[in-house]
């Protein structure tokens, strides 16, 4: 469908009500795979982290990863789910080249966690998202289609890497999200963002969307205004950024509306998201549950967590990230915009650690969202991966507070830190960056500035004190930025007034 034929988002919502469903796959950070002892490290050479079990070879028997079960229970508890007294795995049967067994070991009607909820803050308004279930399963391998399209259609050939096959996943499935209207795209984005924050806080996954640790499938349907039944849904697979989740919902609303408004029928199918064009394209016809021919996995025993174990794990849950943000914002005195930008930059935890080291919240925020965010952006890196620690930022700010550095010199200290030149104090000493406190040297530099700029000096003598800024600049240049600007101003006024 051409984008020229789409209804606008506003026109679509005048005629139809959207219903959302989000399926988020979380790759757990266990040391080994879900049903075998193969390692799970990212980026290994293709097909080097495999064994007969994860390749589905005859006679190989799976064994459930206990840590994966523990992580699943903690995720379920954090999402306010009920934890099953007894659950089991099933075989989900479908053919795809990167499924070495021709079935996926998953859970279907007997998940480990079910019937939960998560409150999502959408621009100050709380939307409660129901959680249908959180179930355990294994990941598939990875197919690389070599050719101009990047898809299997039009590829010259395909390569398959089974390293990822068998890695533990938790799939978190929402109940239908209705009644959101024009906010549907924002609700979808906020849900995935806050779910990621929760997963990171639990410590069960890196949850990096760029590495596939967290992937979102976006289900959407439209129904005529006031209708009781939901419309036919489509599923946009493996959307890998928060912004793309929002854009995919918006596009699918417009696409569905154009089809329905023209008298057509929406095809139940999976679709691919294209980041470059901002559209979805057809993938394959979407199967219903019965098409997968689920049946209990005969090679695995049921999982029956004791109530004592569940309650023990409940005691390990961290503070809810949303509640924590609210608390920290009040403690730090940040405005809504300041807090939103801090969270959006991925700097909340870094600012928190810097404040814990004794730095004022606004000062910590200034460095992380200013100088360091700029450097991370230039390097194409996340703030957390930049190579500067909260402890180092705290030490730099301590040097500023002590009068050893000013902000300009502090920025040069960060140059040294990123170059691996040692601690902030070592960088200051090696580069000679400390502010000059020698009154004689400062006084001499002020005298030179006055002598070289008699017209400016006369203005100050005549009472135009603001002109002192020009002389301060001259002195700072002569002192290579290593003078205390406030003390320089005092000396200038003492000599000229």
Secondary structure string (H, E, C) spanning the chain: CCHHHCCCHHHHHHHEEEEEEEEEEEECCCCECCCCCCECCCCCCCCCCCCCCCCCCCCCCCCCCHHHHHHHHHHHHHCCCEECCCECCEEEECCCCCCCCCEEEECCCCCCEEEEEEEEEECCEEEEEEEEEEEEEECCCEEEEECCCCCCCCCCEEEEECCCCCCEEEEEEECCECCCHHHHHHHHHHHHHHHHHHHHHHCCCCCCHHHCCEEEEEEEEEEECCCCCCCCCEEEEEECCHHHHHHHHHHHHHHHHHHHHCCCCCCCEEEEEECCCCEEEEEEECCCHHHHCCEECCCCCCECCCHHHHHHHHCCCCCCHHHHHHHHHHHHCCCHHHHHHHHHCCCHHHHHHHHHCCCCHHHHHHHHHHHHHHHHHHHCCCHHHCCCCHHHHHHHHHHHHCCCCCHHHHHHHHHHHHCCCCCHHHHHHHHCCCCECCHHHHHHHHHHHHHHCHHHHHHHHCCCHHHHHHHHHHHHHHCCCCECHHHHHHHHHHHHC
pLDDT at 97: 78
Phi-psi region of 179 (alpha: psi -120 to 50; beta: other; left: phi over 0): left
For 140-154, 353-367, 385-399, which range has the lowest pLDDT when averaged over its residues?
140-154
* pLDDT above 80 for 373: yes
**Average pLDDT value for the chain:** 88
The token duo for 55 is 């390749």
For residues 232 and 159, is the Cβ–Cβ distance under 8 A? no
pLDDT at 429: 79
Q: Which domains, ranges and CATH numbers included, belong to the chain?
A: 3-313 (no CATH), 321-431 (no CATH), 439-496 (1.10.10)
For residues 383 and 345, is the Cβ–Cβ distance under 8 A? yes
Confidence tier at 366 by pLDDT (50, 70, 90): very high
Percent of residues, the chain, with pLDDT higher than 70: 88
For residues 132 and 117, give the distance between their C-alpha atoms in angstroms, rounded to a whole number: 8
For residues 65 and 453, give the distance between their C-alpha atoms in angstroms, rounded to a whole number: 77
* pTM summary value: 0.77
Confidence tier at 387 by pLDDT (50, 70, 90): confident
For residues 387 and 376, give the distance between their C-alpha atoms in angstroms, rounded to a whole number: 9
For residues 235 and 249, is the Cβ–Cβ distance under 8 A? no
For residues 180 and 442, give the distance between their C-alpha atoms in angstroms, rounded to a whole number: 64
Q: Nearest CA to 89 among 24, 164, 35, 146?
A: 35
CA 212-347-395 angle, to 5 degrees, is 130
Identify the bridge partners of residue 158 per DSSP, sorted by sequence position. Answer: 145
Confidence tier at 478 by pLDDT (50, 70, 90): low
pLDDT at 292: 81
Confidence tier at 382 by pLDDT (50, 70, 90): confident
pLDDT at 428: 81
pLDDT at 486: 63
* pLDDT above 70 for 483: no
pLDDT at 466: 76
- The tens digit of pLDDT for each residue in 190-244 reads 999 899 989 989 999 989 887 888 999 999 999 999 888 999 999 999 898 888 9
Question: What value does the mean pLDDT take over residues 163-173?
Answer: 96
């Amino acid at each position: 469908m051409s984008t020229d034929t789409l209804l606008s988002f506003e026109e679509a919502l005048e005629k139809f009500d959207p219903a959302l469903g989000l399926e988020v796959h979380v790759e757990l950070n266990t040391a080994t795979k879900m049903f075998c002892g193969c390692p799970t490290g990212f980026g290994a050479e293709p097909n080097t982290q495999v064994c007969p079990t994860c390749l589905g070879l005859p006679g190989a028997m799976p064994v459930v990863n206990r840590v994966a079960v523990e992580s699943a229970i903690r995720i379920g508890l954090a999402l306010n789910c009920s934890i099953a007294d007894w659950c089991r795995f099933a075989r989900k049967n479908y053919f795809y080249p990167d499924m070495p067994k021709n079935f996926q070991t998953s859970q279907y009607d007997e998940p480990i966690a079910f019937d939960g909820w998560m409150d999502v803050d959408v621009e100050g308004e709380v939307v409660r998202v129901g959680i249908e279930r959180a179930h355990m399963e294994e990941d598939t391998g990875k197919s690389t289609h070599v050719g101009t399209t990047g898809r299997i259609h039009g590829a010259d050939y395909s390569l398959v890497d089974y390293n990822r096959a068998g890695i533990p996943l938790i799939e978190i499935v929402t109940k239908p999200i209705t009644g959101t209207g024009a906010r549907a795209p924002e609700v979808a984005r906020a849900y995935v963002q806050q779910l990621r924050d929760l997963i990171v806080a639990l410590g069960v996954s890196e949850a990096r969307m760029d590495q596939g640790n967290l992937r979102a499938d976006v289900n959407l349907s439209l129904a005529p205004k006031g209708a009781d039944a939901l419309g036919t849904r489509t599923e946009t697979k493996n959307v890998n950024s928060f912004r793309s989740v929002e854009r995919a919902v918006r596009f699918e609303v417009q696409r569905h509306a154009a089809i329905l408004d023209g008298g057509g029928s929406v095809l139940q199918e999976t679709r691919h998201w294209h980041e470059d064009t901002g559209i979805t394209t057809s993938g394959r016809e979407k199967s219903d549950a019965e098409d997968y021919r689920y049946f209990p996995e005969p090679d695995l025993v049921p999982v029956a967590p004791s109530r004592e174990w569940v309650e023990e794990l409940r005691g390990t849950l961290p503070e809810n990230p949303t509640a924590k943000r609210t608390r920290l914002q009040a403690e730090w005195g940040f405005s809504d915009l300041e807090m939103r930008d801090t969270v959006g930059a991925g700097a909340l935890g870094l600012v928190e650690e810097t404040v814990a080291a004794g730095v004022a919240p606004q000062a910590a925020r200034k460095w992380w969202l200013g100088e360091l965010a700029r450097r991370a952006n230039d390097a194409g890196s996340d703030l957390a991966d930049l190579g500067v620690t909260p402890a180092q930022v705290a030490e730099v700010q301590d040097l500023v507070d002590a009068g050893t550095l000013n902000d300009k010199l502090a920025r040069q200290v960060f140059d040294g830190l990123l170059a691996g030149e040692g601690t902030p104090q070592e960088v200051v000493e090696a580069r000679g960056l400390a502010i000059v406190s020698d009154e004689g040297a400062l006084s001499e530099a002020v005298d030179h500035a006055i002598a070289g700029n008699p017209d400016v000096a006369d203005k100050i003598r005549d009472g135009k004190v603001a002109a002192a800024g020009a002389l301060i600049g001259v002195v700072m240049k002569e002192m290579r930025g290593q003078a205390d600007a406030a003390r320089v101003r005092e000396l200038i006024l003492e000599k000229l007034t």
